[in-house]
Structures are given as structure tokens and as C-alpha cells.
Amino acid sequence: MAAVAPHGVTTDPQLNDPGEGVRLKVCGATQPAEIEALASEPVDFVGLWFGVPGGPADLELAEWRRLAAAATEEGLAPVLVTFSKDAAILREALEGSQVTWVQLHGYQTPGIVRALKRDVPGVRVMKVLHVRGTECVEGPLLGSYEKAGVDVFLFDAVSKDGRVGSTGETLDVDVVASLADDLTRPFLIACGISSENRARHEALAAHPRFLGVDVDTNARGADGRIAQQNVAAIARAWKEAA
């Protein structure tokens, strides 16, 4: 049975349990039609951007709230995906919504995680870990992030020119597997995930803390919008294979 957070939001305690199967997160929805398409497939999380200046999927707060409400109504778990380092702004965005997940997709400190956990009862934090080549930028702080209250980590690659988020680049599986061994929290993987490359990620998919995949670029059609057929193929490859 779903639990009710202190501020009245219904939450699913199994969403971050690796034992409940591979989770699929599709990021960067901007239209109601995309929410409807995702709800027709076995998608767990939908990433909605807020506070990502210049980002192609960044939403104004009012539209973010509308799409978050639509996702919740469709049975999806909306995630506030942000580069913001201001816990007060994020708290304000979450107030009055049923969103319980925040993805810190930038170089936010453990202090931001701690502030969110303190100020937003029931919030769950997904912290992106940026991998550049064979190094994890946040590597020295992994223990601090866990103590601050991170619920799920998400491995993403930094592009050669320093860009983060939706780069479409791939991760070094061996590097991520080594980093995952040092975690006590579940993790998702991003970067070029598709319906055709599950086999090359087998070492990660078999990890006891592997939670699932985060997809953006390969979930989209030629028009740049989330395409249901692409999402369906990714879901078959990753969920059914498990």
C-alpha cells in the first residue's frame, strides 16, 4: 500500500527498491501528449525540467505544475529535474504539488540535499553523479551525499566540452560498476541508453543496487518529441530482459 508523506502526498515506497524490477525514467517531457504517450507504456518516472536555464525542455513553473499534475493523474511519478542550487526555490515549486522526487542534475552540494530533506517532508532526492572519462566528479563526496539523505544516484556522463545532462554520450561500464560498489543506495544509469544496447550494460544491470535506466535522446522521434514507439522498444529491451 502506498504511504502518505507528512505533507499529505501519496508516495510509493517501492519506487526505489531494486528488488521490484527495472525502473524506466523518461526525461524532458514538455507537452501533455508526451505524458499520455508515456502513460501508455511501462514507464515509472517522468522527468520535468525546472530551473535549467537555456535547457531545451525547461518549463515555466505554472506549466511544470500542470504537467506534474497530469503525470500524477496518469499514474506516473513526476520528477523535478533541476540545476538549481537554491533549496528555497525548490521547496516553493514542490509546495502544493504531489511531486515527491527531485533530481539534482548539477553540482549541488550535500548541504542542498540536507536542506531539502529538512524543509520538504517526504521528499526523495535523486542525485546525479557526473562521470568524466574514468573519474567521477563527485567521487570524494559520495559518503557525504548518502549521509545527507540521497535516496537514489544517477550516473551520467560529462561531454568532452563540459556539458552535463542529455548529452547522448555513453558511460564506461567498468568505471560505473566500480563506483557503484562504493554505494549503499540504488542507482540509475543514463547516457545513450537505447533498445539496442542493453547487452553492453550487462555488468551494471546485474548489480544488486541497479535500479533502472534514464532515457532522453533515444526516447524521441525525428521531430524531437517523445515517441511512444521508441519508449515501448526501450521498455521491452530493459524491463522484459530483466
Q: How far apart are CA 18 and CA 57, in angstroms?
A: 28
Torsion of CA 185, 190, 195, 197, to 10 degrees: -90
Please compute the mean of the pLDDT values over residues 215-227 and round it to a whole number. Answer: 96
Confidence of residue 2 (pLDDT cuts 50, 70, 90): very low
Question: Taking the domain 25-240, which CATH number applies?
Answer: 3.20.20.70
Judge residue 229's burial from the number of C-beta atoms within 10 Å of its C-beta, 0-12 exposed, 13-18 middle, 19 or more buried. Answer: exposed
How does pLDDT run across 103-117, given as a tens digit for each residue? 999 899 999 999 999
pTM for the model: 0.92
Q: How far apart are CA 25 and CA 4, in angstroms?
A: 22
pLDDT for position 7:
31
Max CA distance (Å), the chain: 46
Vertex 138 angle, CA 103 and 26, to 5°: 30
Q: How far apart are CA 240 and CA 242, in angstroms?
A: 5
List, as one string, the DSSP characters of 121-132: TT-EEEEEEEEE
pLDDT for position 191:
85
Q: How far apart are CA 138 and CA 234, in angstroms?
A: 29
How does pLDDT run across 6-36, given as a tens digit for each residue? 333 334 668 999 999 999 999 999 999 999 9
Q: Which of 238, 126, 130, 136 is nearest to 178 (CA)?
A: 136
User: Is the CB of residue 189 less than 8 Å from the CB of residue 204?
Assistant: yes
Of the segments 7-21, 82-96, 155-169, which one has the largest average pLDDT value?
Answer: 82-96
Give the residue extent of every domain in the chain: 25-240
Please compute the mean of the pLDDT values over residues 73-77 and round it to a whole number. Answer: 95
Helix (H, G, I), strand (E, B) or coil at 20: helix
